Amino acid sequence: MSELETNLGDVERILVRFRNKTLPHFINGKPDPGRSNEVFESVTPIDNSLIGQVASGNAEDIDVACQAAEEAFKEWKVISGKERKKILHKVADAIVDNACEIALVESYDSGQPLKFMSKAAIRGAENFRFFADLAPTARDGQALPADEHINYSIRQPIGPVGVITPWNTPFMLSTWKIAPALAAGCTVVHKPAEWSPYTAMMLSEIAHAAGLPAGVLNCVQGLGESAGKSLTEHPAIKAVAFVGESTTGSHITRQGADTLKRLHLELGGKNPVIVFDDADLDRALDAVVFMIFSLNGERCTSSSRLLVHEAIQDEFTAKVVARVAKLKVGNPLDPNTEVGPLVHDRHFQKVCSFFGYAVEDGAKIVAGGNAVAGNGNFVEPTVFANARNDMRIAQQEIFGPVLTVIPFKDEADALALANDTEYGLAGYVWTNDIGRGHRMAQNLDAGMIWVNSENNRHLPSPFGGMKASGIGRDGGDYSFEFYMETKNVCVALGTHRVPKLGK
């Protein structure tokens, strides 16, 4: 039996309980069938066959989950940081114990290759461990002495928070938001993406079984326009952390306005990778191919625009095309697959529409450019050449295994092209001129810049974008700044005299 056949058999064994009945919510420490009596279907993008039915949450389901989170917050907020650290480490241990099952389900549910999903669950456990270790000091503030007074600051958890996560690498991205919220002392109502709902339920069950108290982490399945909207408007929710596309981020901003919610929005990107003619071209080639074609190109930090110096444009583009021709497209449960199917037919149709846009606008398709025949949502890894920065393929977020190549003349031209987009999430610079690397990093309008590196994950560092790519930062203490309120305490010394009025 091949590894693919073994993995397919394991997925069937894991998913049998979800196939036989509707995937429920998880509220107040137990599965909850919901109150709407409505369901939606979840399919695998491998062949668009049915995985199972999922409970479609409504405002009443959200309200019950928010009440559970509000009640649990009373006790969770006063548990010591050391105790929260112990509990969250147990959650991390349990994630590691279940990592293989999480990876298989996520790969089957989202279409992401097992090659990458096998690491995603472990990264989720790392998120829990990292923030668990910070929990004992999360509330620490500053000593601020002054004449006749002593000032000091402390932090306290903001309250129940809403977490809305996307369908690309959903398990890892859920932990990236949920772990710091729990470490800070907040309780959570999680609304996962409807296109990849299964591992969210697994996370809730794993965390509760590992010792997380009932009501601290709740999960409500459902659609964005119903469950998501109700969550962002609910008065018990004090902050909303969202990962997704920019239009939805705008909707959430409006929905949270009446209750003055704190928002963290991690949104879209049209990220440039800039390759100068003095770069280490072999390393740059590896990074360019990896950052757009891994994870099916469904990655917010993918380098979807290749800005390459005109002196090496033809040579470097030819090397990219040669590498793309060797990429293995196939069933995501095959350990050798590098590019799997796109998550949903609607997204598949969107990505395929750009093949026509490219030709209409005058670009040349030099690799791929077609859907793969069959029932699944497979597309050929694609490269567009002879592109201009004003084309739709250069300005709109495609979010698939599609690379747009644009030449530049010099450093100033590269910078102007890179910044000429509504997005500002990430940027990548390849050059052996370290001064140029620093100049580009300082002048690029993006929240994160990597010089001579692919996307390298450093948990203490700030993660987030500028312009239409979002508001706020994740990572290290930046996450606690979002999930906590800072309070100042001023204590008068004995020598202080209060001004007298009316005496």
**What is each CA distance from 281 to 122, 274, 277, 291, 439, in whole angstroms?**
31, 11, 8, 15, 20
In a 3-state reduction of DSSP, which class is residue 155? strand
* Gap between the Cα atoms of 298 and 442, Å rounded: 27
* Gap between the Cα atoms of 255 and 342, Å rounded: 30
Q: How many CB atoms lie within 10 A of CB 173?
A: 24
Which alpha helices (DSSP H) does 420-490 contain, by range?
434-443, 476-483
Bridge-based pairing of strands 149-157 and 484-492 is antiparallel
* Gap between the Cα atoms of 145 and 182, Å rounded: 31
Closest to 377 measured CA to CA, from 341, 333, 331: 341
Copy the structure tokens of residue 273. 């990778």
The residues near 491 (Cβ < 8 Å, ≥ 6 apart) are: 149, 150, 151
* Gap between the Cα atoms of 450 and 438, Å rounded: 10
Copy the structure tokens of residue 146. 């002054």
Selecting among 106, 126, 194, 266, the annotated active-site residue is 266
Tokens 């010792």 belong to which residue? 211
Q: How many CB atoms lie within 10 A of CB 141?
A: 16
| 77, 157 Cβ separation under 8 angstroms | yes
DSSP per residue, 240-271 = EEEES-HHHHHHHHHHTTTTT-EEEEE-----
Selecting among 66, 186, 219, 300, the annotated active-site residue is 300
Catalytic site residue 352? no
Catalytic site residue 266? yes
Neighbouring C-alpha atoms within 13 Å toward the C-beta of 41: 9
Q: Catalytic residues, which ones?
A: 266, 300
